[in-house]
Amino acid sequence: MAPQENNVTDIDPPPPPLPPRRKQSGEVSLASLQVAPAQSRPTTALSSIDIATLSFPDGSRGTFPTTAMRAVSSPVPSASGCATPNQAGLSSASDELTDSMSVMSFAQTLRPPGDLASLVAGEMNRKSRAWNLLRSQSTTVQPFECFDAGAPDDLAGFEYEFDNIPDATAEGANDEQRLSLWKSKMKHYMILSSAGKPIYSRHGDLSLVNSYMGIIQTIISFYEGASNPLLGFTAGNARFVIATEGPLYFVAISRLGESDAQLRGQLEALYMQILSTLTLPTLKNIFVHRPSTDLRKPLEGTESLLSSLADSFSKGSPSALLGALECLKLRKSQRNSINNTFLKMRCDKLLYGLIVAGGKLVSVIRPRKHSLHPSDLQLIFNMLFESGGIRAGGGENWVPLCLPAFNNRGYLYMYVSFFAGNPDSTSAASPAQKERSSSDSLEEQDEVAVVLISPDKESFYDLKEMRDKLAHQLGKNGSLAIVKAAANEGRPRIGAIAPDAQISHFLYKSRANVQFCMSSLEPAFSGLEKMVVRRRLMSLYHQLHASMHIKHSHLKVLHCINEGAASLAWITPVFEFYCIASPNVSREVMTQGANKIIQWAKREEERLFIIGGGVF
Amino acid sequence: MADLAGAPRPSSSVKLVLLGEAAVGKSSLVLRFVNNDFQENKEPTIGAAFLTQKCNLPTRTIKFEIWDTAGQERFASLAPMYYRNAQAALVVYDLTKPTSLVKAKHWVAELQRQASPGIVIALVGNKLDLTNDSGDGEGTDANDSGDARKVSTEEAKTYAEEESLLFFETSAKTGYNVTEVFTAIANAIPETSLKTARGAGASAAAASRAEEQRVNLNGPRDPNAKEGCAC
């Protein structure tokens, strides 16, 4: 099974001996270019059972035909050509294109036509002429448009998800109303101590939710006695996931359809935020001495950090979903020049140095023996860009924090400074910033921040000096302007990558670099009024991601269509790729588009991702 | 004062630290003083923020280097780092919250015990806009109905006099009395301490930085300077 899975590209019986990989990729990529529908062939490991489990429960059309179709080994011709990738003569075509492409990226995709046809270009897409005609009229349908037309909607009311529940003191708000508001929220996060003391709740003040915390604590501790702790349960359409971390219970309650693993990851991030505030030894000490301690006091002031983290999950964070970071797209030479300037200005006290623009990483310098963990960076980015504590104050900041993945036992000290839009307009910039942060946190920020981290708490002035020199130098050699321009430009648009690809949005994760890129959310998914649509998009990505990462599923390619949208996921050892299109886009067209985007990502790899970074 | 703007005045840097319980409005006071801005529901400061602002006195320019510290208890152990070598301190409490004055008194005691001997301390009661006498300065009593004031002017003032502190009641929201606090501090700092401060007192790093920034002071006047003191 294994060799088949990784190496078989040629499908016609009898299978030829395994070709060398390089050559294989050549054939493969060319094939993919010329006969696009052949892409995304599933591996032979993709059983019909796999497919069936992945169909959407909501009456979707995404359920796939099973064995009958898979038995076919001859390609099924489709409108756009032959589905078979290995046509005679293909390998003789020019090699130029293939040089820039990775061997790996295509290795998984070209599969024996029998299977491929069944998934990507098979019977499924053979529609009557009338249907095709109809489809040609409907390319303008946007993903999720059906919900505007009144399709049953499990996200109804999501636009009020982040509205505050009024205080008990507020006028015209009795407890009953407040409680029903609280219950209407689709996502809850709660943190309590194992003694049952409430620590944090995303919605509602603790007086309101205290009794619920008590119930949860009772339920959890009921199972605690057995050696089989409670991990999660379902009540109605809400999924409860529980994580126990030392003396703390973390509870996520979601009606947004995330998988347990995803919710668990989110709870883990909240735990990391608490460790980042307190460090692990402190946290343990607190509870060793007094198990009934109220942790709210030591955590005072970090509620906004927890909430902004929680809200980024509820809105749907590709970064959290993929466990990866987003970088600012820059030319390799430009990034190198920034890295080199950064390294040159480095002061002795520095541990890590980052330049960040609008939540995207521009440059990193680090000691050879330490790398930065994405979960630590997530905490830093959350502090800088999602919550207003640092940005709103203006000036420079000196923040003690623990980076748990680096070392959960002690504090590091972080110097943060934002480059003002122009040198003397700090005051003018702040109202605009405020507006922006409230409207759309990650999408429209172009502020450039320098983050310098040191283990020495007295090193503020050293780091400040380094920052001043760095700012001067980056300004002088034009890098700052380049970074700002790149940040202003925003994320790549699909129109520019693959003009005729009928794909609405994609995520591409480079697994080796633990980084991802995505297409611009504008115009369909950006802005406050599109929050619900954006959540639909992110929910679909969460579903795709969950399906692809079910244990033992060995799933490589997944194509789903439901009422709202068509989606395609594709995982290889090199990348994970997810994309969404209008529900009317056929698989051929979609895979064709996906291919183009992946080729683009390969080509642009060194611009899209930071490979290595500056090391000292 | 306008006619003085052209002539170079002697200028000096003054390290100023803000201390006080969480959520009394330290950052808002600074934001009002530095940017003449106010934010409702500002999120808590994390760690400390460093800002600068000039204050023009008739005979000299004071450049405040302001350390706006976070008020939460867990940051208390870092405070000495910020008030060490500071020439001025703003100890802030919330007029509507008596415990914050208790905390403020602790800070004053700690400063008197451990900070530089000549440090100028101002006690500031913030959130005057929540009381009945917002804007009119002192006057009405603490027990007025509908008044959120919980700390009487007399009480705080008496304490400030005992400890020889400067005393102000301010509103960062309306801007009332904010600039006055900083101006009063600037005036209260003895000339002599300005000279010594840069030498032995300040740490090496701070000194070198002060040198660097002094160069800038002779350049074009900061547009914000005009909102400095009018005295």
pLDDT in tens, A515-544: 999 998 887 787 777 888 889 899 999 999
Q: What pLDDT is recorded for position A523?
A: 78
DSSP chain B: -GGGSSS---EEEEEEEEEESTTSSHHHHHHHHHHS---TTPPPP-SEEEEEEEEE-SS-EEEEEEEEE--SGGGGGGHHHHHTT-SEEEEEEETT-HHHHHHHHHHHHHHHHHS-TT-EEEEEEE-GGGSTTTTT-S-S-TT-TT----S-HHHHHHHHHHTT-EEEE--TTT-TTHHHHHHHHHHHS-HHHHHHIIIIIS-HHHHHHHHHHHHHHTSSPPGGGGGS---
DSSP A371-437: ---HHHHHHHHIIIIISHHHHTT-SEEEEEE--TTT-TTS-EEEEEEEEPSSTT-HHHHHHHHHHHH
3-state helix, strand, coil in chain A (%, to 5): 45, 15, 40
Measured in angstroms, the CA of A412 and the nearest CA of chain B are apart by: 12
Using a pLDDT cut of 90, give the percent of chain A over it.
39
- pLDDT tens figures, A181-211: 888 889 999 999 988 889 999 998 878 888 8
Q: Are A200 and A214 in contact (CB under 8 A)?
A: no
A436-445 per-residue burial string, b: 16 or more CB within 10 A, e: under 16: bbeebbbbbb
Three-state DSSP class for A148?
A: helix
Strand partners, A8: none
Measured in angstroms, the CA of A359 and the nearest CA of chain B are apart by: 19
Residues of A in contact with B212 (CB under 8 A): 468
Residues of B in contact with A400 (CB under 8 A): 47, 75, 78
pLDDT of A37 over the 70 cut: no
Q: What pLDDT is recorded for position A322?
A: 94
Interface of A with B (CB under 8 A): 277-278, 297-298, 300-302, 304-305, 383, 387-390, 392-401, 414, 424, 426-427, 430-431, 434, 457-458, 460-462, 464-465, 468
Contact B70 A301 (CB under 8 A): yes
Chain B CA closest to residue A308: B43
Categorise residue A140: left if φ over 0, alpha if ψ from -120 to 50, beta otherwise: alpha
How many other CB atoms are there within 10 angstroms of residue A290's CB atom? Answer: 10
Contact B78 A300 (CB under 8 A): no
Give the model's confidence band at A56: pLDDT under 50 very low, under 70 low, under 90 confident, else very high.
Answer: very low
Q: Are A28 and A106 in contact (CB under 8 A)?
A: yes
Angle, helices A332-345 vs A460-476, to 10°: value is: 140
Nearest to A452 by CA among A379, A347, A531: A347
Measured in angstroms, the CA of A457 and the nearest CA of chain B are apart by: 9
User: B195 touching A, CB under 8 A?
Assistant: no
Please tell me which of the candidates B48, B72, B78 has its beta carbon nearest to residue A300: B72
Q: Are A38 and A113 in contact (CB under 8 A)?
A: yes
Distances (CA, A) of B57 to B15, B192, B223: 17, 16, 15
Backbone angles phi, psi at A254, to 5 degrees: -130, 135
Q: What pLDDT is recorded for position B146?
A: 64
Chain B CA closest to residue A302: B44
Nearest to A216 by CA among A179, A262, A248: A248
Contact B49 A396 (CB under 8 A): yes
Using a pLDDT cut of 70, give the percent of chain A over it.
70
Cβ neighbourhood burial of A238 (10 Å; 0-12, 13-18, 19+): middle
- pLDDT tens figures, A221-265: 888 877 788 999 999 989 999 999 988 999 999 999 899 999 999
Backbone angles phi, psi at A200, to 5 degrees: -155, 140
d(CA A487, CA A489): 5
Please tell me which of the candidates B27, B50, B224 has its beta carbon nearest to residue A396: B50
Residues of A in contact with B84 (CB under 8 A): none
List, as own/partner pairs, every contact residues A292-299 make where C-beta atoms lie below 8 angstroms and the sequence separation is at least 24, other chains included.
A292/A193, A292/A195, A292/A197, A293/A193, A293/A197, A294/A197, A294/A199, A295/A193, A295/A197, A295/A199, A295/A248, A296/A198, A296/A199, A296/A200, A297/B73, A298/B73, A298/B74, A299/A199, A299/A200, A299/A274
User: B72 touching A, CB under 8 A?
Assistant: yes
How many other CB atoms are there within 10 angstroms of residue A555's CB atom? Answer: 22
pLDDT of B227 over the 60 cut: no
d(CA B100, CA B148): 14
What integer is the mean pLDDT of A138-164? 73
Structure tokens given for A482: 């380049």
Residues of B in contact with A392 (CB under 8 A): 39, 42-43
Q: How far is CA B136 from the centre of its chain?
A: 21
Contact B68 A395 (CB under 8 A): yes
Mutation site for A-interface testing, chosen from B40, B43, B222, B227 by largest number of A Cβ within 10 Å: B43
How many other CB atoms are there within 10 angstroms of residue A13's CB atom? Answer: 8
Contact A427 B50 (CB under 8 A): no
pLDDT of A379 over the 80 cut: yes
How many other CB atoms are there within 10 angstroms of residue B180's CB atom? Answer: 15
pLDDT of B33 over the 70 cut: yes
Backbone angles phi, psi at A91, to 5 degrees: -70, -15
Cβ neighbourhood burial of A159 (10 Å; 0-12, 13-18, 19+): middle
A82 or B43: which leads in pLDDT: B43
How many other CB atoms are there within 10 angstroms of residue B7's CB atom? Answer: 6
Nearest to A542 by CA among A56, A202, A190, A51: A56
Taking the CA atoms of chain B, what radius of gyration do you get in angstroms? 17
B212 or A282: which leads in pLDDT: A282
Please tell me which of the candidates A398, A431, A458 has its beta carbon nearest to residue B48: A398
Please tell me which of the candidates B74, B81, B209 has its beta carbon nearest to residue A458: B81
Please tell me which of the candidates B35, B51, B81 has its beta carbon nearest to residue A430: B35
Q: What pLDDT is recorded for position B20?
A: 95
Calculate the CA dihedral of residues B33, B34, B35, B37 and round it to 10 degrees: -30
Q: What pLDDT is recorded for position B194?
A: 67
Residues of A in contact with B44 (CB under 8 A): 300-302, 304, 389
Give the model's confidence band at A367: pLDDT under 50 very low, under 70 low, under 90 confident, else very high.
Answer: very high
What are the residues whose beta carbons fall under 8 Å from the beta carbon of A128, sequence distance 6 or more? none
User: B27 touching A, CB under 8 A?
Assistant: yes
**Widest CA span of chain A, in angstroms?**
79
Mutation site for B-interface testing, chosen from A277, A397, A414 by largest number of B Cβ within 10 Å: A397
d(CA A268, CA A197): 19
The β-bridge relationship of strands B48-56 and B11-20 is: unpaired
Chain B CA closest to residue A434: B39
- pLDDT tens figures, B56-81: 988 889 999 999 999 999 999 999 99
d(CA A312, CA B34): 31
* Number of inter-chain CB pairs under 8 A, A vs B: 104
User: B31 touching A, CB under 8 A?
Assistant: yes
Nearest to A358 by CA among A379, A327, A403: A327
Residues of A in contact with B27 (CB under 8 A): 393
Residues of B in contact with A468 (CB under 8 A): 212
Which one-letter DSSP state was computed for residue A78? B
Contact A400 B42 (CB under 8 A): no
Average pLDDT, chain A: 76
Nearest to B90 by CA among B70, B110, B67: B67
d(CA B189, CA B12): 11
Nearest to A180 by CA among A190, A168, A191, A165: A165
Residue owning tokens 């052209």: B6
Report which residue type is found at A453.
I
Contact A300 B73 (CB under 8 A): yes
Q: In what order do the strands lie in the sheet with A557-561?
A: A325-326, A515-518, A503-510, A575-581, A566-571, A557-561
Measured distance between the N- and C-terminal CA atoms of chain B, rounded to whole angstroms: 8
User: B184 touching A, CB under 8 A?
Assistant: no
The β-bridge relationship of strands A557-561 and A412-419 is: unpaired
Please tell me which of the candidates B27, B50, B71 has its beta carbon nearest to residue A398: B50
Measured in angstroms, the CA of B35 and the nearest CA of chain A are apart by: 5
Residues of B in contact with A382 (CB under 8 A): none
Q: What pLDDT is recorded for position A434?
A: 38
Let me know how long chain B is. Answer: 231
Q: What pLDDT is recorded for position A522?
A: 81
Please tell me which of the candidates B39, B81, B224 has its beta carbon nearest to residue A434: B39
**Widest CA span of chain B, in angstroms?**
54
Contact A304 B224 (CB under 8 A): no
Measured in angstroms, the CA of A464 and the nearest CA of chain B are apart by: 9
Measured in angstroms, the CA of B162 and the nearest CA of chain A are apart by: 32
pLDDT of A24 over the 50 cut: no
User: B200 touching A, CB under 8 A?
Assistant: no
Contact A396 B35 (CB under 8 A): no
Which one-letter DSSP state was computed for residue A550? S
Q: Are A350 and A469 in contact (CB under 8 A)?
A: no
What are the residues whose beta carbons fall under 8 Å from the beta carbon of A183, sequence distance 6 or more? none
User: B43 touching A, CB under 8 A?
Assistant: yes
Measured in angstroms, the CA of B86 and the nearest CA of chain A are apart by: 15
Q: What pLDDT is recorded for position B105?
A: 95
Residues of B in contact with A458 (CB under 8 A): 81
Give the model's confidence band at B224: pLDDT under 50 very low, under 70 low, under 90 confident, else very high.
Answer: very low
Contact B39 A392 (CB under 8 A): yes
Between vectors from CA A607 to CA A604 and to CA A613, what angle results, nearest 5°? 135
Is the peptide bond prior to A523 cis by the omega test (within 30 degrees of 0)?
Answer: yes
Structure tokens given for B14: 């003054």
CA atoms within 13 A on the CB side of A520: 17
Residue owning tokens 């080994």: A73
